[in-house]
């Protein structure tokens, strides 16, 4: 039985090129949408075997919102994200598949693969074929960078603080009052109060309780 491919992109030239590419390769029948509303309407009426989706289409939540809606209706939906630009030769990060953070977000949201728009034609054809066959398209370079991202330490939420501010935050987390902190560190209460204000501003905390919670979560209150 001939597969149905739902191609979602707001650029007519890209849709025309993909339609011809898929047709020449005999991958299946192509139906097209240019925005979120049209994509969901065709998804429900055509029940395509695969969706090739630009994440930047017009709509309240863009292509990712469309994909979430599809997966909510059918958890087995096959969506291949086709967007952005890869780094390319002399380009930015991510080699031929684009920003690894964007690709990781798409895969985490439920996509069966990610292909950048400046990838080789064979890459797109291979990805569509693999997803149609029930697999997942994961470029070797993408897999490598995603692995490196997972091994990278998480960003330090307390990075904006000075060493003294970290010290004061830790004492707050242990339940010390401003007076007790001043006595412990040999500084004035005014200095402690000013430091607490700076810490709240830097961390976006709305009060002393929030600072205590931040200190505990960061392991400073032990």
Q: Domain 163-217 belongs to what topology?
A: Arc Repressor Mutant, subunit A (1.10.10)
- Mean pLDDT over 60-85 rounds to 89
Domain borders along the chain are 4-151, 163-217
Confidence tier at 83 by pLDDT (50, 70, 90): confident
pLDDT, tens digit, 9 for 90 and up, residues 103-143? 778 888 899 999 888 888 999 999 999 999 999 998 777 77
| CB contact set of 164 (below 8 Å; sequence gap of 6+) | 195
Token match 């739902």: residue?
A: 6
Token match 């890209």: residue?
A: 14
Question: Is pLDDT of 174 > 60?
Answer: yes
pLDDT, tens digit, 9 for 90 and up, residues 11-26? 999 999 999 999 999 9
- Mean pLDDT over 55-73 rounds to 88
Beta strands in 10-166 (DSSP E): 29-33, 50-53, 79-83, 113-116
Question: Is pLDDT of 89 > 80?
Answer: no
- Mean pLDDT over 86-107 rounds to 55
How confident is the prediction for the chain on average, in pLDDT?
86
Q: Is 151 within 8 Å of 100 (Cβ atoms)?
A: no
Q: What span, in angstroms and rounded, lies between the C-alpha atoms of 2 and 28?
A: 5
Measuring CA to CA, which residue among 47, 93, 98 is closest to residue 70?
47
Q: What span, in angstroms and rounded, lies between the C-alpha atoms of 8 and 14?
A: 10
| The CATH classification of domain 4-151, taken from the options 3.30.160.100, 3.40.50.2300, 3.30.70.20, 4.10.1240.10 | 3.40.50.2300
Q: What is the reported pLDDT for 39?
A: 95
Share of the chain above pLDDT 90, in %: 59
């Amino acid at each position: 039985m001939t597969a149905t491919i739902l191609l979602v992109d707001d650029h007519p030239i890209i849709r025309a090129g993909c339609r011809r590419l898929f047709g020449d390769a005999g991958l299946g029948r192509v139906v097209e949408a240019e925005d979120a509303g049209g994509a969901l309407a065709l998804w429900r009426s055509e029940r395509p075997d695969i969706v090739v989706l630009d994440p930047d289409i017009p709509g309240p939540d863009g292509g990712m919102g469309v994909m979430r809606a599809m997966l909510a209706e059918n958890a087995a939906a096959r969506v291949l994200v086709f967007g952005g630009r890869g780094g390319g030769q002399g380009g930015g990060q991510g080699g031929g598949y684009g920003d690894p953070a964007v690709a990781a977000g798409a895969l985490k949201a439920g996509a069966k693969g990610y292909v950048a728009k400046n990838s080789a034609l064979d890459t797109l054809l291979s990805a569509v074929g693999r997803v149609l066959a029930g697999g997942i398209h994961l470029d070797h370079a993408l897999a490598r960078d995603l692995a490196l991202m997972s091994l990278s330490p998480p960003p330090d939420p307390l990075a904006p603080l000075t060493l003294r501010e970290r010290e004061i935050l830790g004492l707050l987390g242990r339940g010390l009052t401003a007076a007790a902190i001043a006595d412990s560190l040999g500084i004035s209460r005014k200095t402690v109060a000013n430091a607490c204000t700076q810490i709240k501003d830097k961390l976006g905390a709305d009060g002393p309780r929030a600072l205590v919670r931040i200190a505990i979560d960061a392991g400073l209150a032990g």
